[in-house]
Structure formats: C-alpha cells, structure tokens
Amino acid sequence: MQTVIFDMDGTLIDTERVSQSSWRRAASDLGITLSSEILHAFVGCSIPNAKEIINAEFGDPDLTERLFEHQAGIFMEAMERDLELKPGAAEAIAAAKDRGLGVALATSSGREYSINNMTRFGLMDSFDVTVFKEDIENHKPAPDVYLVAAERLGVDPAQCIAVEDSFNGVRAGAAAGMRVVMVPDYNEPTDEIRELCAEVLPSLTELPAALDRLM
C-alpha cells in the first residue's frame, strides 16, 4: 500500500513563523543578534545541531544554554497563543485517506509536544503510525525518522511519499529512498533540493492533485 508520511513543524503546523520570532526576541533579550543565515539554518535542524551552530558562532556554551532555555519559554508561550495549522493541512491528510493511502506522522519533535499539537487541531487520530524524536537515533538529514515510519507501516520506503518543508527534511526523505514533495515554508528550495524532490508545491492545498500524479 502506498503511504504518505507528513512532517509536522512547518509542514502541517505553522511553527516556523512563531519560532523565528521567538529566536529574535530571545537573542535580543540576551544582547546578541542572530544572523539571517543562522535563522535559516535552524529550519528543520535538531536541537543538538542548532546548539553546535550557536557554539560555533559565539564560542560560549553557557550563553548557548541560556539562549535555548529562554527561547523555549518564549516559544511555548507564543505557541499557545499564536499557533495555527498550515493552509490545507487537514484537507491534505483527508485527501490521502480518501485515496486509500496509509498516513503517517514523522517528526523530529518530542512525543508529548507533537501529540498535544496534533490533538489540539483534531488530527492525532488521522495517523496510522507516528514517529517522534524519542523513537530515532539520528535526526534529519539522516533518514531514520522516515525509515522507522516505513518499517512500522510495513511498507517499502519506495512506496512512500514524504511531505516536507525544510532542506534537512527533504534530504532525509530522499536518503530513505522515498519520493519527496516539498512545500517550502521559510526557505525556498535550492537547485540541489529541487533535484531531490518529486514535486515542489506552493501550499498543501495542491497536495491532493500531486498525489494523483504520483500514485
């Protein structure tokens, strides 16, 4: 059975807008500035890798820890107030199910955080399989999260379509041997990223038609 595997942050829910704002505020509160290059690099980046970026930039591990702790508090507060679904997210999931496709969630975010967000928008019960940060050893761009999803679904990765918004997510899906549909959020695809994608769509509202082309 063919399967659609959805990333969550930046793909199904509009976290990047909230995240970028919270990083800027946290940095300002600590008297530092995060360059646009760093903010772009944070998209689809795991926390350990993001901390390495900040350590390399400022050379102060204590500052890095304070920045991440402060940003986390700002981010969670803003999420409660400002978080929204990406346009077409619920409809895209429903379209996959209507076509008889398996549907999975594969995210590098934590289990509790992810379940709370998907439940909040009434989507948690839509997934046949879920994979969270706690279920994998290596984060994107490694393919682990997608390979675990395929294994739990009992399908060949080649029968899966990965839906992603970030460069690292696209790389992870492609490395897993899946066809990748990118819906760019914060970063527009480079030539390298486009070559890894089966399709690049302006929004999730175009995904149902893309599924018909790719099935």
Q: Are 22 and 75 in contact (CB under 8 A)?
A: yes
Cα dist from 159 to 75, 84, 128, 172, whole Å: 36, 30, 15, 15
Catalytic residue among 7, 14, 165, 185: 7
Question: How confident is the model at residue 148, as a pLDDT?
Answer: 98
Question: How confident is the model at residue 187, as a pLDDT?
Answer: 83
Catalytic residue among 9, 14, 144, 165: 9
pTM to 2 decimal places: 0.86
Give the residues across from 4 on adjacent strands: 103, 161
Tell me the domain boundaries of the chain.
3-14+84-214, 15-82
Query: Does 128 qualify as catalytic in the annotation?
Result: no
Question: How confident is the model at residue 99, as a pLDDT?
Answer: 96
**CA dist., res. 155 & res. 24, Å (int):** 41
Pairing of strands 3-6, 160-164: parallel
Question: How confident is the model at residue 215, as a pLDDT?
Answer: 85
Residue 42 has φ and ψ, to the nearest 5°, of -70, -20
pLDDT tens column, 89-131: 999 999 999 999 999 999 999 999 999 999 999 999 999 999 9
Q: Of 98, 96, 86, nearest to 5 (Cα)?
A: 96
Residue 4 has φ and ψ, to the nearest 5°, of -110, 125
For the chain, what percent of residues have pLDDT higher than 70? 100
Query: Domain 3-14+84-214 belongs to what architecture?
Result: 3-Layer(aba) Sandwich (3.40)
* Position 1 confidence tier, pLDDT thresholds 50, 70, 90: low
Q: Of 63, 13, 18, 59, nearest to 42 (Cα)?
A: 18
Say whether pLDDT at 43 is over 90: no
Query: Does 60 qualify as catalytic in the annotation?
Result: no
